[in-house]
Amino acid sequence: MWQNTIKNFTQNPKNDILSGLTVALALVPEAVAFAFVAGIDPLVGLYGAFMMGIVTALFGGRPGMISGATGAMAVVMVHLIQKGNEVGLALDNPVENLGLQWLFITLLFVGAIQILAGVFRLGKFVRLIPHPVMMGFVNGLAIVIFLSQLGMFKENVDGTTQWIQGAELWTMLGLIALTMGIMFGLPKLTKKVPAALIAIIVVACITIFGSLDVSTVGSFIKEGGGEGLKGSLPSFQYGLFEFTSTITGHWDLILSTAFILAAIGLIESLMTLNLIDELTETRGSGNRECLAQGGANILNGLFGGMGGCAMIGQSIINVTSGGRGRLSGAIAAIALLCFILFGSSLIEQIPIAALVGVMFMVVIGTFAWSSFRILHKIPLSDAFVLLAVSAITVWKDLAVAVIAGVIISALVFAWKSATMIRARKSIKEDGTKVYEIWGPLFFGSTTAFNSKFDIANDPQSVEIDFMESKVSDHSGVEALRNVANKYLEQGKNVKLTHLSPDCKEILLKWNPEFENHIENAIDDPRYHVVTDLLDAEV
C-alpha cells in the first residue's frame, strides 16, 4: 500500500503541482460562498476546505480527487446553526455563535459515522449504482454548478440583490469568454501547462494592469459580510466540549443532522470517486475514502473547520489539468492555506469572471451530452431514471437524487425479474416428473413460482432442479419450503437438486427432515462476492 502511495506522489510532480495550484484558486470562492450559505465566517469554510483537502489527498481512496467545503452539506447545516444561535442568545449568560459550536460537535459524529461505514466496508455499494443514475447524476450536477455560478452575476445595491447590467455585465461576459477561449484553445497548442491556471493568470493580469472595475474575490467576500481572507493557522477548539450542556433537549437535532451530513458526504464522495474512475480508467477504494472523509470531518470538528466532502467540479478541474496523483490534492490544500496566511492580498484581486469561466468549462465537460443521443435508444425505464435523477438533483440535492434513482432502478429490475421465472417440465424413464427452474426466485417471483406446480396431479416422484436458478432471499426459500411440504403432505416423494449452500442451510434450519430430500452434487452452484478483492490499493 505504501509503495503505491509513494508512486502516486512521484509519478508526475510537475502536472500535479500546477493543477493543484489551479484547483486552489478555484477553491477560494467556493469555500467562501458555501460558508455564507451556512451562515458562518468565511475563514471557517476555508479552514474546512484545507483540512478536508489535505487529509483526503494523503489518505483517501482516490488519487487526484479533491475534497473541501460543499454546498450540499452547507444547506443541511443552516437549520442546525440557526437553532444553536437562537438557543445561545436565550441562555442566562448569552453565547454568541453557539450554532457554530454545535456544528463542530456534530462534525465529530459525522466523522465517526463515516469511519464506521469504512470499517464495515459499505463503500463497495457504490458499485451497485446503475449507469442511468450515474448519467442523471452528472447531468444534474452540471446544471447545479451552472446555476450556482449565476449568483456571481448579481450585486447588492442599497440592501437589495439585483442582476448586474450595462458595461459591467458586458465586461464580465467578455472576461468569461476569454477564460473559456483560453481553456478551449491552449490544450490544442500545448498540454504542458494547465489551461485553467493560465486562463486565470491572463485574465487577472488584464484586470489588474488594465485597472478594470470588476468584481473580485475580495469584493465578493466583503459583499457577503466577510472581512477578508487573511487569517492564521486553524487552532484546537479547547472549549468545544464546554458547550455540550447547551445541547440538552436538542440531541435529536444534533444526531439527525449528523446522519444526514454523513450520508450526503459519503454519497457525493463515492459518486465522485466513481466518475473519476471512469475518466481516468483506474480504480479507487470506496472504503478507504469513507475512512479518510470521516477522519477529516473529525479533524474539522476539533480544529474549527466547516467540514465537507468530495467536490466534483474541482476534482474534474484537477484531473483535466493533469493532476492524477496525491500530490495534486496536497498542493491544492497547502496552497489554499498559504493564501490564507500569506497571499490573501493577491488572491483577493483575482476577478470572479475568471473563476466563473473555469466553472462554465467544468459544466461543459461534466454534462453527459451523449445522453441526448441515447435517450430514444435505451429502455423507457432507464430514460425515466436518467431524467428523474437529473431533475431531483436540481430540485433537492445529490444524495436524494441518487437514492431515488437507485430505488426506482431496483423496483424496475425487481418487476422485470419477477416475470422471468420459468419451469421446464419433463418426465424421466422411471416416471419422475422434473421441474427445471429458470430465473431468480425471490420475493417478487414467488407467486409465479407457486403457479408452476400441479401438486394434486403430479406423479409419485417429483424433482425440482435449480441448476439454472438462484434462490435469492428468505421469501424464495419460504416459497420452496411450502411447495416441498405440500408434496410431502400428499405422501409424494420430492427431491431438490442443485441448491446453493446458503439455501440448503436455511431450509435445513426450518425442516431438518429435508436432509433426505436435498441431493448434493459436485456441480451444485456456489456464489461468491468478489467486490472486496477488487478494491485497489491506491
pLDDT, tens digit, 9 for 90 and up, residues 69-118: 887 788 788 889 999 999 999 888 888 889 999 999 999 999 999 999 99
Q: Which residues of 351-382 are buried (b: 16+ CB within 10 A; e: fewer)?
A: bbbbbbbbbbbbbebbbbeebeeeeeeeeebb
- For residue 421, the number of C-alpha atoms closer than 13 Å in the C-beta half-sphere is 26
Q: How high is the pLDDT of residue 49? A: 94
Nearest-Å Rg of the Cα atoms of the chain is: 29
Residues 160, 439: Cα–Cα separation, whole Å = 63
What cell numbers appear for 124 in the block?
A: 463497495
Cell of 537: 490499493
Give the model's confidence band at 36: pLDDT under 50 very low, under 70 low, under 90 confident, else very high.
confident
Predicted confidence at residue 184, as pLDDT, reads: 92
Which residue has better confidence, 293 or 519? 293
- Nearest-5° Cα angle at 415, 412 to 416: 85
Q: 331: buried, middle or exposed (CB in 10 Å: 19+, 13-18, 0-12)?
A: buried
Distances (CA, A) of 392 to 76, 311, 376: 16, 19, 21
The pLDDT value given to residue 331 = 94
Amino acid 225: pLDDT: 66
pLDDT beyond 50 at 59: yes
**Whole-model pTM?**
0.73
> What mean pLDDT, rounded, does the chain reach?
87
The C-alpha cell at 452 is 408452476
**In this predicted structure, which of 37-41, 203-207, 458-462 has the lowest mean pLDDT?**
37-41
Angstrom CA distances, 413 to 390, 401, 406, 420, 472, stand at 20, 18, 10, 11, 14
Q: Which helix (H) or strand (E) holds 124?
A: none
* Residue 55 pLDDT: 96
Question: Could you tell me which residues come within 8 angstroms of residue 190 by beta carbon, excluding any fewer than 6 positions away?
Answer: none
CA distances from 208 to 164, 202, 244, 326, 409 (A): 20, 10, 48, 33, 52
Work out the average pLDDT over 309-320. 88
Q: Is 267's pLDDT higher than 80?
A: yes
> Averaged over 278-284, what is the pLDDT?
84
Tell me the percentage of the chain whose pLDDT exceeds 90. 41
124-140 pLDDT, tens digit each: 777 778 889 888 988 88
Distances (CA, A) of 481 to 348, 458, 521: 71, 17, 20
Backbone angles phi and psi of 399, in degrees to 5: -65, -50
Lowest mean pLDDT among 195-204, 417-426, 442-451, 502-511: 502-511
Cα diameter, the chain: 98
**191 vs 409, more confident:** 409
Please spell the DSSP secondary structure of 328-386, one letter per residue.
HHHHHHHHHHHHHHT-HHHHTTSBHHHHHHHHHHHHHHHS-THHHHHTTTS-HHHHHHH
Compute the distance between CA of residue 222 and CA of residue 348 in angstroms, rounded to an integer.
10
- Asked if residue 278 has pLDDT above 70, the reply is yes
Examine the pLDDT at 526 and tell me if it is beyond 70.
no
- The confidence score (pLDDT) of residue 537 equals 44
Taking alpha carbons only, the member of 43, 56, 96, 387 closest to residue 23 is: 56
Report the 10 Å Cβ neighbour count for 95. Answer: 17
Backbone angles phi, psi at 251, to 5 degrees: -65, -30
Q: What is the mean pLDDT of residues 18-22?
A: 90
* pLDDT of residue 535 exceeding 60: no
Cβ atoms of residues 53 and 27 within 8 Å: yes
For residue 524, name the pLDDT band (cuts at 50, 70, 90).
low
- CA gap 283, 450 in Å, rounded: 43
Give residue-wise pLDDT tens across range 148-174. 788 888 887 777 888 999 999 999 999
Q: Say if CB 459 and CB 428 are below 8 A apart.
A: no
Given a cut of 80, whether residue 341 has pLDDT beyond it is yes
- The answer on pLDDT for 449 being more than 70 is yes
Average pLDDT over every residue of 404-410: 91
Quote the pLDDT of residue 10. Answer: 56
Locus of grid cell 408452476 = 452
Number of alpha helices (DSSP H) and beta strands (DSSP E) in the chain: 22, 9
Residues in the chain: 538
Match 456456489 to its residue by C-alpha cell: 526
